[in-house]
Amino acid sequence: MLSACSWSWFGLNSTPRAAAHPTGWLSVAPARDFPYMPARNGEVSPNRIENTAMTGIVLKDDINETVRDGIVNRLKIAGFHLDAGKRVLSGSIEKFSVDDTRSPAFWTLKMRYVVTDATTQKVVFSTTKTVKQKSPKFTSNTIAIEDTVRLNVDALIGDPGFVKAVN
């Protein structure tokens, strides 16, 4: 039998770690600076994700708030310093949709990201990232949305131009 003391090392350093990649310093703009373009264009309401099988997926919060919060969470987990910085990340949600007419469901998120110098207000980096992912048709919408945003932010983090802009 093992004594309880021998188990004490199991709990140490058990925090999950993000994949190794460069980090940087930046601030993330408020949700209003991440406009949801399909809603702005009158195609859907601000809290609705286009869905091919139904009229849409309706969230409690607006899509721009949900996506912005997901961006912040993913950047924090990845090790970016978000409390200060001479760069500000903003952007627009060009498309957020799900095609679940068949199984699996395919989620698509197209984001335009813009990094601006806080002092000069000049754009120092701009890119568009589109991710598509499949998930079980009857999965939790919350989980599918979080996963899709995470994949999109990971595509941004993997862009050497973005890393250079925030360092």
Q: What are the pLDDT digits (tens) for 16-72?
A: 444 445 688 999 999 999 999 999 999 889 998 988 766 578 889 999 999 999 999
The domain spans of the chain are 22-165
Lookup result for tokens 């120092």: 124
Separation of alpha carbons 103 and 100, rounded Å = 6
pLDDT at res. 55? 58
pLDDT at res. 83? 79
At 110, the pLDDT band (50, 70, 90 cuts) reads very high
pLDDT at res. 92? 98
CATH hierarchy code of domain 22-165: 3.40.50
- Cα angle 102, 107, 113 (rounded to 5 degrees) comes to 165
- At residue 11, the 3 state secondary structure works out as helix
Average pLDDT on 131-153 reads: 89
Identify the helix (H) or strand (E) that includes residue 92: strand 87-99
- pLDDT > 90: what percent of the chain? 63
Look up residue 101 and give its amino acid. T
Better-predicted residue by pLDDT, 35 or 100: 35
- pLDDT > 70: what percent of the chain? 84
pLDDT at res. 20? 47
Tell whether the model's pLDDT for residue 167 goes beyond 80.
Answer: yes
Lookup result for tokens 């090790």: 79
Separation of alpha carbons 105 and 139, rounded Å = 9
